[in-house]
A and B are shown apart, each in its own frame.
Chain A
């Protein structure tokens, strides 16, 4: 609204801006609180006080966490699952979605029907778990990677993105004798870079944040991912403290600062990439609605 820009802010604007600011503060507040406690010096930390900014800064909680094997192991596992999983997600999703744009393909309707069926019906938690067990994938990171190679939502969005690409280039390349594989690799993939960027992030965030599947597929605590570890550190120790169990453990380091530091570390990769990629994410949501 370029024309409106020159106008002076009205009472309407003041109220609106204040409300939006308030909502943003509500979104930011838990981050701020967790951050500031995690950086608070354990020596000056008083459990019954609340902190918006650390009175005395300290990295002790981080030093402690990063010195524990369980955290480093979980971090490495999660990075492995995220990197390998995302790479395979992209390969499987884009090749399959490309096939779904070929409406003349024999069996097209059947294959698309399969995909849509999985969108509206899932066998449920127990059958999925039994399958992973039958395949011998319990306690293997491949259980998490293979069971989420692609999904119907992403395929439908990528498919409609690919269909929105100009078909003239593909036709021209084919007339020039380019093979199907050549068309896919030299024409379709380079044109799909915005969608690839977006989905890299979607897939990576999904892998990084996976909790339940990691909980049931990785039963060996040496194999835990970050989310499972953080859940155990923060929520389980919290409820045991509520039951009065953890009271004897009056060590130098208050549990709270360590727990908050583990939360911060577990979301750090996302917080770091977020400001740069937020724009892509927002665009990605709209990719699928190209058709309107």
Chain B
């Protein structure tokens, strides 16, 4: 670009050159302006709200005039039996996620990868990716029509065989399993993409050589395909561990009902109920902040581990 960048006085060389660099890039800054404003207002603006966790927010006094409360809301939170219920529910749902949601896409990807009929493979891929694009409202609605006691198809079948209908959706025992099954149904197909891409990178000659050596399909999977996706598995596993505090909030909120509250309440739902529905703003902020900080520590640690293995992390 031909800008008159050298016209400034040479006495303050450093600051001038910085200024001239800024001027030189002014179009870039202009392009970035909407995004910058967005981040400042909508991503950093709410950070001020975190101060409310250390105050007794009173809507009549407002943000600034509300009394400071120190760490009272946090000590109250840790003393609350609900806290341990939320912690248990969060970890239980995530543990089930680790056992089911994590390996299922790998197995499904291996199965899809073994399909040699291209059209059959493509059609099945399209079908299993589909649920990913549905909203949680639609998935939850479908769940009602499959599992609910009065209109659920499963119960219709049970009743038509002479059994008693089971209220799957209002029983404490089934909640975690149902959440897990829902997530698997919605996301397992989509989760195969990253593994299939890694598998597509394997040199076909390796399989040919294995066949010549008399390797069975199982041995080809074990010795060629799996090692090819091992780095991907390791990265995703570490990142999964780094998000052990995240629960699908919309999903849980939609499937929650008073009868299963004891197994469904997680930090986000509690923060929403207390902070927005009941108007205990400071409590809601404190719960959300606790979750956010633990989540931050976990994901930063996970990312560091991924980078230690020589891979690119998420940032």
Sample of 18 A–B contacts (CB below 8 Å): A19-B111, A20-B111, A24-B127, A47-B150, A48-B160, A92-B35, A95-B31, A96-B35, A120-B296, A124-B289, A125-B275, A125-B288, A129-B276, A184-B27, A238-B148, A263-B142, A278-B129, A286-B194
The chain A residues found within 8 Å of chain B, CB to CB, are: 1-5, 7, 10, 12-13, 16-17, 19-21, 23-24, 26-28, 30-31, 33-34, 37, 47-50, 91-93, 95-96, 98-100, 102, 104-106, 111, 114-116, 118-131, 135, 146-147, 149-150, 155-156, 174, 177, 179-181, 184, 205, 208-212, 216, 227-228, 230-231, 234-235, 238-239, 241-242, 256, 259-260, 263, 266-267, 270, 274-275, 278, 281-282, 285-286, 289, 291-292
Residue of A nearest to B296 (CB): A121
- Given A106-B18, A263-B141, A286-B197, CB of A127 within 8 Å of CB of B52: yes
Contacting pair B120 A127 (CB below 8 A): no
Residue of A nearest to B300 (CB): A120
Q: What per-residue 1/0 map shows which CB atoms of B90-125 lie under 8 Å from chain A?
A: 000000000000000000100110111100100111
Per DSSP, chain B at the interface is helix
Q: Does B13 contact A (CB under 8 A)?
A: no
Q: Does B264 contact A (CB under 8 A)?
A: no
Chain B residues closer than 8 Å to A27, beta-carbon distance: 127-128, 130-131, 185, 189
Chain A residues closer than 8 Å to B140, beta-carbon distance: 231, 235
Chain A residues closer than 8 Å to B54, beta-carbon distance: none
- Given A127-B288, A130-B281, CB of A119 within 8 Å of CB of B315: yes
Residue of B nearest to A11 (CB): B217
Chain A residues closer than 8 Å to B193, beta-carbon distance: 282, 285-286
Q: How far is the CA of A181 from the CA of B33 in the complex (A)?
A: 14
Contacting pair A119 B314 (CB below 8 A): yes
The chain B residues found within 8 Å of chain A, CB to CB, are: 1-2, 18, 21-22, 25, 27-32, 34-36, 38-39, 41-50, 52, 108, 111-112, 114-117, 120, 123-131, 133-138, 140-142, 144-146, 148-151, 153, 156-157, 159-160, 167, 170, 185, 189, 193-194, 197, 204, 207-208, 211, 217-218, 249-250, 253-254, 257, 268, 271-272, 275-276, 281, 284-285, 287-289, 291-293, 295-296, 299-300, 303, 312, 314-315
